[in-house]
């Protein structure tokens, strides 16, 4: 029987690629739920094509538009965040793909876990912010969490057939982004349009900026810590510019396993949706002769301060990664509008980290408050710095 999917964030980079995977395997997958925030036009188009049981549009202003466009079809239309939390629990949903961006994805994932659904997780911020809570609930409800992030999918694939106690360390690879090797005197002037040009991966805007600052790798270290139950010291990062090794696991006998392939997010998406099956596709294959040299180097933590800040937050734990994430979401949004400089983003995130109270063992409510407070502080600092320019 085909797996029935709830695709949360269907209009995004991951969401649209997931629909490509569904289209290529109509015998294996069926779309039960589509959700989008505000791109009504695209979600309407997707609904007409994939005929889900329901569509959720979280931006309430777009509800009438979606509702009336789909009124002739047997498709239920809901709006708001609460509706999202409801539909993921439906009996007709087998797998929930979490492809919403940022903290906004947390509640729907927790709700799906509560109902014991299989979670294909792209939304890394969910684990960054509340990894302890999410993983504890997933264990309690026996909800499997299958990573979609390419590095974590690589590690997950390397771990098939292995015992957790045989893992010595995880080695996350990072392409280094468009500014690899650049120094502060160069970075001080870079603009969003420049940072959006990722050399190897085509992704949504936020994660593309995070890749250029290396914040993405920091978030992924925290994501890996929770997903695979590692100590901080067991997670390493190496810059590997070619992006054909998607990550590695080193075992207690010194053996290292890597998962490789050309960079294409459809592969980890397909793996997570089809798991535990591995299914065929006709994506372009990796030819080693096209990559006569694979390179590996240490990240420049001094220049790319966001990575150091994320590692710090990981060590601090508690609500520290939640503060980091909220401040970063605000800064990336501002950077995309050219309202803050590339290097300034790290300065401001550091200030927000100092300005919000630390909580060692936060509840869900504490995470919500922390997120809110950190965003308020981040916006205050932004305003102040803008005033001082003019």
The binding site for ligand NAD (CB under 6 A) comprises 9-15, 36-37, 39, 58, 99-101, 104, 122-125, 149, 201, 203-204, 206-207, 265
Q: How many residues does the chain have?
A: 390
Residue number, 242 or 385, with CB nearest to ligand NAD = 242
**Three-class SS state of 166:** helix
Side-by-side strand order, sheet with 167-174: 235-239, 167-174, 245-251, 256-260
Question: Residue 104 binds what, of Mg ion, ligand NAD, none (CB under 5 to 8 Å, by partner type)?
Answer: ligand NAD
**Three-class SS state of 187:** helix
Tell me the closest approach of the beta carbon of residue 205 to ligand NAD, in angstroms: 6
Structure tokens at 247: 């990550």
Question: Residue 291 binds what, of ligand NAD, Mg ion, none (CB under 5 to 8 Å, by partner type)?
Answer: none
Q: Which stretches within 88-214 are classed as H helix?
A: 106-114, 124-140, 150-158, 184-187, 192-195, 205-213
Residue number, 15 or 176, with CB nearest to ligand NAD = 15
Q: Which stretches within the chain are classed as H helix?
A: 13-24, 40-50, 63-69, 81-87, 106-114, 124-140, 150-158, 184-187, 192-195, 205-213, 215-227, 266-274, 305-316, 320-336, 342-355, 364-389
Question: Residue 15 binds what, of Mg ion, ligand NAD, none (CB under 5 to 8 Å, by partner type)?
Answer: ligand NAD
- CA distance linking residue 30 with residue 19, whole number of Å: 10
Question: Residue 37 binds what, of ligand NAD, Mg ion, none (CB under 5 to 8 Å, by partner type)?
Answer: ligand NAD
Residue number, 33 or 119, with CB nearest to Mg ion = 119
Q: Which residue is nearest to ligand NAD (CB)?
A: 12
Using the rule CB under 5 A, give the single segment among 88-96, 108-116, 150-158, 349-357 that binds Mg ion: 150-158
Tell me the closest approach of the beta carbon of residue 221 to Mg ion, in angstroms: 11
Tell me the closest approach of the beta carbon of residue 220 to ligand NAD, in angstroms: 9
Closest CA to 122 of 258, 220, 5: 220
Q: Answer yes or no whether residue 30 interacts with Mg ion by CB under 5 A.
A: no
Q: Which residue is nearest to Mg ion (CB)?
A: 149
Tell me the closest approach of the beta carbon of residue 276 to Mg ion, in angstroms: 22
First to last CA, the chain: 62
Residue number, 69 or 104, with CB nearest to ligand NAD = 104
The contact set with Mg ion (CB under 5 A) reads 149-151
């Amino acid at each position: 029987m085909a797996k029935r999917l709830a695709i949360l964030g269907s209009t995004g980079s991951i969401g649209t690629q997931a629909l490509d995977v569904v289209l290529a395997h109509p015998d294996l997958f069926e779309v039960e739920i589509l959700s989008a925030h505000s791109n009504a036009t695209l979600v309407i188009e997707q609904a007409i094509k994939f005929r889900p049981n329901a569509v959720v549009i979280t931006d309430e202003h777009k509800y009438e538009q979606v509702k009336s466009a789909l009124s002739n079809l047997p498709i239920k239309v809901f709006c708001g965040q609460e509706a999202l939390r409801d539909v993921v629990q439906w009996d007709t949903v087998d797998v929930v793909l979490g492809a919403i961006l940022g903290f906004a994805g947390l509640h729907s994932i927790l709700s799906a876990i509560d109902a014991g659904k299989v979670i294909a997780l792209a939304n890394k911020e969910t684990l960054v912010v509340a990894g302890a809570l999410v993983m504890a609930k997933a264990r309690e409800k026996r909800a499997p969490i299958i990573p979609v992030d390419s590095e974590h999918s690589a590690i997950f694939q390397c771990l098939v057939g292995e015992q957790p106690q045989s893992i010595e360390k995880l080695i996350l690879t990072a392409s280094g982004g468009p500014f690899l090797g650049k120094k502060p005197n160069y970075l001080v002037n870079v603009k969003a349009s420049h940072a959006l040009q990722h050399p190897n991966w085509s992704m949504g805007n936020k994660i593309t900026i995070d890749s250029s600052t290396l914040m993405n790798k920091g978030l992924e270290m925290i994501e890996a810590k929770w997903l695979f139950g590692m100590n901080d010291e067991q997670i390493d990062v190496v810059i590997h510019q070619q992006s054909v090794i998607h990550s590695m696991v080193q075992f207690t006998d010194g053996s290292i396993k890597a998962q490789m392939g050309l960079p294409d997010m459809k592969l980890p998406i397909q793996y997570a949706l089809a798991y535990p099956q591995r299914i065929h596709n006709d994506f372009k294959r990796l030819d080693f002769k096209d990559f006569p040299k694979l390179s590996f180097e240490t990240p420049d933590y001094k220049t790319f301060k966001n990575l150091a800040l994320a590692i710090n937050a990981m060590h601090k734990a508690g609500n520290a990664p939640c503060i980091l994430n909220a401040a970063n979401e605000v800064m990336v949004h501002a950077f995309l509008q050219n309202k803050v400089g590339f290097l300034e983003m790290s300065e401001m995130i550091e200030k927000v980290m100092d300005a919000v109270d630390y909580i060692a063992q936060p509840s869900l409510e504490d995470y919500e408050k922390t997120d809110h407070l950190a965003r308020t502080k981040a916006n205050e600092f932004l305003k102040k710095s803008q005033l001082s320019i003019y």
